[in-house]
Structure 1
Amino acid sequence: MSTSFEANTLSGSLDAIDLQLLAILQANASISNIALADKLHISAPTCLRRTKRLQQEGWIEKQVAILSSDKMGRFMGHSVTALIEVSLDKQGEELLQAFETRAVQEAAVQQCWRVSPGPDFMLVVQVPDMPAYLAFTQRLLTQDANVRNVKAFFSVKRAKFGTEIPLPIAMP
């Protein structure tokens, strides 16, 4: 019996093997093509073609190395992670887009989310220390006359961090 997802397969462009491939790559993007093909029980050339197609179609945005923020913080001497709520005074589309554009250009901004209800944006910011945080807030938040309210929360411990999107498949 097939599930409604299998019948739908996300607009017909993903099948069960694609979903398994994506699940494996989310957990370990450095896996070799041969090992990936072996896990999927398909040939290496077929696996490579599928992976390339998923990249070309935008299912895989990019492959990166995720650094340990704890180790990098110790290496650099300090590290401050802030979760920042930003509310704008006026929320016209042009004004929202203007703030978003400025925020994503900041190297310290790891994530920028436009949210509703409540604040207009949630930012995840990583800076080396508090002077760098102050400089960041003055550049992005204080100098913008449309920023009405800022509420910052500073991380004291990261209990969980993940990048994987749960997929509707059962892995063997």
Structure 2
Amino acid sequence: MEISLDAIDLQLLDQLQRDATLSNQALAERVHVSPPTCLRRVRRLQESGLIERQVALLQPDRLAALQGHGLTAIVEVSLDQQGAEHLAAFEACAVQDDGVQQCWRVSPGPDFVLVVHTRDMPGYLALSQRLFTQDANVRNVRAFFATHRAKFETKLPLALG
């Protein structure tokens, strides 16, 4: 679906990125449009696929206090063979694993960069067995374990007038 964006659409997207729990009334007030107009525009943005999904972002430090610390790693993965079918096969495996939060194909350097989150080091080792050891095409893995999260943002920058 082809869509064009005007200043109101961009303001709606900006506000929804900040807080998707806003009521339609509150959102309409913030962008200075009527509630029916606001609802119609948000639905159009959703139907176009610009709004992929709405989720709750959990605070990892608070969750850790309830469930245990958790372990975040940024992992570089290089494959032995980089043919399209090999890249697609590894990617399909990685994106299906619940421990993989993000999967990026990158260039140059490694073939993939993964952001993984597991409960603890044994959880990471199990993930590495599933994704890296059992796949004969994985040539090299470098893991960097996070010690402090300075910034985490899901908001995309928009060209607001």
Task: Determine which of 104, 115, 122 is the counterpart of 2:95.
Answer: 104
Partners of 1:106 and 1:71 in 2: CA distance: 24
Task: Determine which of 4, 8, 32 is the counterpart of 2:23.
Answer: 32
Partner SS for 2:132: helix
Deviations 1:38-68 (A, max 9, x none): 1111110110010010000001000010000
Kindly provide the amino acid, as one letter, of the partner of residue 50 in structure 1.
Answer: R
* TM-score (structure 2 length as normaliser): 0.97
Q: How does 1:11-160 map to 2 (within 5 A)?
A: 13-160=4-151
Partner SS for 1:118: coil
Partners of 2:3 and 2:21 in 1: CA distance: 27
Extract structure 1 runs of 4+ deviating beyond 2 A: none
Identity rate, percent? 62
Partners of 2:61 and 2:104 in 1: CA distance: 24
Partner SS for 1:31: coil
Deviation at 1:12, TM superposition (A): 5.8
* TM-score (structure 1 length as normaliser): 0.91
RMSD: 1.0
The aligned residue for residue 5 of structure 1 is none
Q: Structure 2 unaligned runs (5+)?
A: none
Partners of 1:57 and 1:93 in 2: CA distance: 29
Partners of 2:119 and 2:65 in 1: CA distance: 10
Q: Structure 1 unaligned runs (5+)?
A: 1-10
Kindly provide the amino acid, as one letter, of the partner of residue 116 in structure 1.
Answer: S
Instruction: Report how many residues are paired.
Output: 160
Deviations 1:138-166 (A, max 9, x none): 01101100000000000000000000110
The aligned residue for residue 161 of structure 1 is 152
